Amino acid sequence: MTTPTNNERLQLLLMDYLYGEMTERERQAFARELQSSPELQALLRDAERLDGTLPIGTQPRIDAERLQGNRWMLQQTLQREQRTAFSLQSWLQALAQRPLTVAFQGVAMAATFVLGMLIATEDPRGGDAALLAGTEPSAELSPLQLIESDDYEIYQLKVNSYDAASGAIDLSFSLASESRVQGNVADREIHKLMAVALQDDIDSASRMDTINALQPVSSGTDVQDALIYVLRNDENPGVRYQAVQSLVALASVDRVRDALRYALSEDINPGVRLEAFQALTKYQDPETLAVFRQQMESDSNEYIRTQARNIVEGTADAASSEL
Amino acid sequence: MLREIEEELLVAAQAGNTAAFERLVRLLEQPMLAVAAGFAHTPDDANDIYQDAMLAAYRALPKFKLESKFSTWLYKIVVNTALSNRRKLKRAWQKLAAVQAEYQHEEEYLVGVSPEAELLDSELSAKINQAMAKLTDRERIAFVLCHQQGFKLREAAEVMSCTENLVKVVLFRARAKLKVQLADYH
């Protein structure tokens, strides 16, 4: 066992004084030691300096709106969790409470039923082989088709208004499901699901991972739409940056250029604006030049201002020499 | 009385009653979000940590022993989730930091939590975020719990599963590092 040096002892004493629960007696002892110990006086002076800048209790701001948002999110998460847990757990629990032979019978019946369904049902998606080979499905598909009807439930059904005389009714409800899909990102069904998810409620890290995974298939319209949506609406600048990086290679597409022009003029993140600007420099159409003209005056980033001015003035010089 | 209500809610929540769990959590949500924010790079990250921690707590609830203190147990989960998420989110953050030196979407700091609490200026808030990022995990836990959240040393020792003396040592080190980092503001 090591014995603390006097300085270490004083450090511990000071932490007790600042954060512990000293009794009156201990406080008096501390005050006496403080009077006689220049070392403790120096430590306390240092501590007071930090506490002057960062008083005890200084902490990140959590406003009412943020609390409300988190409360709502937690409610949704727990409801999803409860539904997923319920079906499996209750079935297993019920099974475990019966005699073993009955449990085996139950498992066997369930297995037979599932096998029967697999054999009897024609797979509308052409089976896993088609999925993995990345073949294009012939009909227009929605990601919801990846979710079987048994996988989701309706919850939070609300009657917003009801007119008893005419029978007119206005309902709102949420759908929740827990599903797992395995396949290849090149498959349209898979990347369409991911594209839709990008516009829904998934966390920032997952949005970034999703954009990363979608990069090789970003020429597809549905993926482009999702990336454009993210670039225009995502609150996380890291996610928007990843989206703009995926879109720069597609700047020849009109609506992608529209989104890039929007990002250049509206995004508060200079990294996002810079990527958009660099992609647009190759396309000096009138709309793009108009945005450059605006940014050469107003952009907070010096590089964008200077380069935009060079392009706008260069274009003007070329036009006047042609005349 | 309060303890009885808490126990009733706990029993209901352990049986899968999500509304009971939400009520239990609501009493602690502000400080727990603030603890998560003490570990995160951005408010979005902090919100993710909080959500992950609450889901983990809900899943682990059947194992919770009623004789333990619920708040300490919950804080432990928030701290552990924060530490594991911090590693997961580091890559995303590095990417972000690389592109945006003037990133403004960071935690802002308040002196206290009352409605009249004073908001620190954004420059100092940014500096505090940077300084906090230089602390080790342990130093950060001790500082967030004791200095920011007002935990007593023994309470922090419980959450950190260590001795009170170790909390004091680590806390002193954290303070020393922050003092250097924030020297321009003393």
DSSP chain B: -HHHHHHHHHHHHHTT-HHHHHHHHHTTHHHHHHHHHHH-SSHHHHHHHHHHHHHHHHHHGGG--TTS-HHHHHHHHHHHHHHHHHHHHHHHHHHHHHH-TT---S--EEESSSTTPEEPPHHHHHHHHHHHHTS-HHHHHHIIIIIIT---HHHHHHHHTS-HHHHHHHHHHHHHHHHHHTGGG-
Restricting to B residues 160-179, those with a Cβ less than 8 Å away from any Cβ of A are 165, 167-169, 171-172, 175, 178-179
Is residue A243 assigned to a domain?
A: yes
Residues A288 and A228 in one domain: yes
Is the pLDDT reported for residue A301 higher than 50?
yes
The pLDDT of residue A36 is above 50: yes
Within a domain: A201: no
Largest CA distance in chain A: 96
Report percent pLDDT > 90 for chain A: 27
B residues 112-141 closer than 8 Å to A (CB): 112-113, 119-120, 124, 128
Q: What pLDDT score was predicted for residue B123?
A: 86
Is A318 inside a domain boundary?
yes
Residue A291 domain-assigned? yes
The domain total for chain A is 3
Q: Tell me what pLDDT residue B142 has.
A: 96
* pLDDT at residue number A104: 45
Q: List the CATH number of the domain containing A226.
A: 1.25.10
Model pTM score: 0.55
Question: If you average pLDDT over residues A272-298, what whole number do you get?
Answer: 91
pLDDT at A156: 60
Q: Does the pLDDT value for residue A292 go beyond 60?
A: yes
- Pick from A61, A93, A117: which residue ends a domain? A117
DSSP state of A143: G
The count of CB pairs under 8 A between chains A and B is 178
A248 in a structural domain: yes
Q: Looking at the structure, tell me whether residues A20 and A110 fall in a common domain.
A: no
Q: Within this chain, do residues A247 and A285 fall inside the same structural domain, yes or no?
A: yes
Long-range residue pairs from B22-25, CB within 8 A, at least 24 positions apart, any chain = B22/A71, B22/A74, B22/A75, B22/A78, B24/B70, B25/A74, B25/B54, B25/B57, B25/B74
Does A278 lie in the same domain as A229?
A: yes
Residues 18-77, chain A: which have Cβ within 8 Å of B? 19-21, 46-47, 49-50, 52-62, 66-67, 69-71, 73-75, 77
Average pLDDT over residues A152-178: 67
Residue A41 has pLDDT above 90, yes or no: yes
The pLDDT tens digits for B145-156 are 999 999 999 999
Position A151 scores a pLDDT of: 59
Mean pLDDT of the A67-88 span: 75
B129 vs A90 pLDDT, higher one: B129
CA distance to A124, A145, A184, A242, B107, per residue, from A139 (Å): 10, 12, 19, 31, 48
Q: What is the mean pLDDT of residues A135-147?
A: 48
Strands A169-177 and A152-162 come out as: antiparallel
Mutate to test the interface with B, among A2, A53, A215 (most CBs of B within 10 A): A53
Mean pLDDT over A122-129 rounds to: 38
Residues A42 and A83 in one domain: no
More confident residue, A268 or A254: A254
Strands in chain A per DSSP E? 58-60, 152-162, 169-177
Look at residue A226 and tell me if it is in a domain: yes
pLDDT band of residue A138 (cuts 50, 70, 90) is: very low
Q: How many CB atoms lie within 10 A of CB A238?
A: 31
Rounded to the nearest integer, the mean pLDDT of chain A is 75
Band (A241; pLDDT cuts 50, 70, 90): confident
When pLDDT is averaged across residues A8-13 and rounded to a whole number, the result is 92
* A83 and A44 fall within a common domain: no
Q: Is A111 in the same domain as A23?
A: no
Most confident of A212-216, A220-224, A290-294: A290-294
Does A246 fall in a domain? yes
How far is A70 from A79, CA to CA, in rounded Å? 14
Same domain, A80 and A34: no
- Tell me, yes or no, whether A306 and A222 share the same domain: yes
Pair A153, A178: CB distance under 8 Å: no
Which residues, given as ranges, of chain B have pLDDT below 50? 101-104
Both tokens assigned to B96: 């972000």
Is residue A96 located within the same domain as residue A40? no
pLDDT of A97 above 70: no
Q: Which domains does chain B have, with CATH numbers?
A: 1-107 (1.10.1740.10), 121-186 (1.10.10.10)
Whether A141 maps to a domain, the answer reads: no
CA distance B110 to chain A (A): 5
A167 torsion bin: left (phi>0), alpha (psi -120 to 50), beta (else): left
Question: The domain containing residue A109 runs over which residues?
Answer: 76-117
Confidence of residue A148 (pLDDT cuts 50, 70, 90): low
- Which one-letter amino acid corresponds to residue A260? L
Give the residue with greater pLDDT, A264 vs A149: A264
